[in-house]
């Protein structure tokens, strides 16, 4: 059997198109342009890439993008001062502080300084608590993207058994809560769990976000199950040859042994081109939703997001 591929690149492109249309409508009917402020402290190369990509896609969706690049030795007071300004700026509807922050800054404190209605990453304790209690709130982007991908396969998730591998605050835990809110029977596992292969074999849905290349093997997967691979790992790829400096080229892989797993699963996401593109698309969805909410306007319906 060859699994149905859940094409995150194509779905993300559709979502971005829908957001763009809704933004145009918001401008035409209400004269409002959603604005996203992204704050980057320091110059971590991976964070630089994400911030650039977020800014580009925000502008392509017709929104305003505000970037704040602060030096690595920015004090907590300076950063809090900027967040306070952005909280009260009527042109800013979403605020995202790129993580990880330098070690001298307390990320929990910083995230909780963002106004919950502008917290488009969905990491503020208020949003976490509201999602956890099944209330409407801003949902973290990656789990939101995973739910949209699952909606491509299941019109109704009720009663499905779902295993989440990984329990980070940004992916695994909110993913578990969203699946529970959708009335799945949910198991959230992590690196201290001892029986993940057996748990996986009883699951209709596996969502893995562990950061361990090839962790999920084909024989862990119940035939026909849906596998959502959140992992992004850069591994050596000698088959691709060598770089100019003589080191071996690398490639991106997920947390699933994809080639073998696709012969057992019913549906599966690839890496790259799966969950990754959905994350930024959902950031745009969250910014649009935040803008509507802050302006007391109804939220547009966006593909079951």
Among 19, 162, 178, 230, binds ligand NAD (CB under 6 A): 230
Pull the structure tokens for residue 162. Answer: 């779902």
**Which one of the spans 17-25, 49-57, 161-169, 219-227 is the region binding ligand NAD (CB under 6 A)?**
161-169
- Given 57, 118, 121, 160, which residue is catalytic? 121
**Which one of the spans 87-95, 159-167, 235-243, 296-304 is the region binding ligand NAD (CB under 6 A)?**
159-167
98 included as an active-site residue:
yes
Residues binding ligand NAD: what is the number (CB under 6 A)?
A: 25
Pull the structure tokens for residue 85. Answer: 């300004």
Q: Please, what is the minimum distance in Å from the beta carbon of residue 94 to ligand NAD?
A: 17
Binding mask 115-154 for ligand NAD (x = CB under 6 A): ---------------------------x------------
Pick the closer one to ligand NAD by CB: 203 or 279: 279
Pick the closer one to ligand NAD by CB: 8 or 116: 8
Question: In whole angstroms, what is the distance from residue 6 CA to residue 148 CA?
Answer: 10
DSSP the chain: --PEE--HHHHHHHHHHHHHHHHHHHHHHH----EEEEEEES--HHHHHHHHHHHHHHHHTT-EEEEEEE-TT--HHHHHHHHHHHHH-TT--EEEEPSSPPTTS-HHHHHHHS-GGGBTT--SHHHHHHHHTT---PPPHHHHHHHHHHHHH-S--TT-EEEEE---TTTHHHHHHHHHHTT-EEEEE-TT-S-HHHHHHT-SEEEE-S--TT-B-GGGSPTT-EEEE---EEEE-GGG-B-TTSPBPEEEE-SB-HHHHTTT-SEE--SSSSHHHHHHHHHHHHHHHHHHHHTT-PPPP-TT-
Pick the closer one to ligand NAD by CB: 37 or 256: 256
* Position 251 contacts ligand NAD (CB under 6 A): no
Among 47, 168, 185, 250, binds ligand NAD (CB under 6 A): 168
Binding mask 264-293 for ligand NAD (x = CB under 6 A): -----------xx--x--------------
Q: Please, what is the minimum distance in Å from the beta carbon of residue 134 to ligand NAD?
A: 22
121 included as an active-site residue:
yes
Q: Catalytic positions, please?
A: 54, 98, 121
Residues that bind ligand NAD (CB under 6 A): 142, 165-168, 170-172, 189-191, 193, 196, 209-212, 215, 230-233, 275-276, 279
């Amino acid at each position: 059997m060859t699994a149905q591929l859940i094409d995150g690149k194509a779905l993300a492109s559709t979502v971005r198109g829908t957001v763009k249309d809704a933004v145009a409508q918001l401008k035409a009917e209400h004269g409002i342009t959603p604005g996203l402020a992204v704050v980057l402290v320091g110059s971590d190369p991976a964070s630089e890439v994400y911030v650039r990509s977020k800014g580009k896609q925000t502008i392509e969706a017709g929104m305003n993008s505000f970037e704040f690049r602060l030096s690595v030795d920015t004090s907590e007071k300076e950063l809090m001062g900027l967040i306070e300004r952005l909280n009260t700026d009527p042109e800013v509807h979403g605020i995202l502080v790129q993580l990880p922050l330098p070690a001298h800054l307390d990320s929990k404190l910083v995230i909780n300084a963002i106004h919950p209605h502008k917290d488009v990453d969905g990491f503020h304790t208020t949003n976490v608590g509201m999602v956890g209690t099944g209330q409407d709130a801003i949902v973290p982007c990656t789990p939101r993207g995973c739910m949209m991908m699952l909606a491509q396969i299941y019109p109704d998730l009720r009663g499905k058994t779902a295993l989440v591998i990984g329990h980070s605050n940004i992916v695994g835990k909110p993913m578990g809560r969203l699946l529970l809110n959708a009335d799945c029977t949910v198991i959230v596992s992590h690196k201290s769990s001892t029986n993940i292969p057996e748990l996986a074999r009883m699951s209709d849905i596996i969502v893995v976000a562990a950061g361990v290349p090839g962790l999920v093997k084909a024989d862990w997967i119940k035939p026909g199950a849906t596998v959502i691979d959140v992992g992004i790992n850069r591994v050596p790829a000698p088959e691709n040859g060598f770089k100019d400096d003589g080191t071996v080229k690398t490639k991106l892989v997920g947390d699933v042994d994809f080639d073998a797993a696709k012969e057992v699963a019913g549906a599966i996401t690839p890496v790259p081109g799966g969950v990754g593109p959905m994350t930024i698309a959902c950031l745009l969805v969250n910014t649009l939703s935040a803008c509507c909410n802050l302006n007391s306007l109804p939220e547009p319906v966006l593909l079951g997001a």
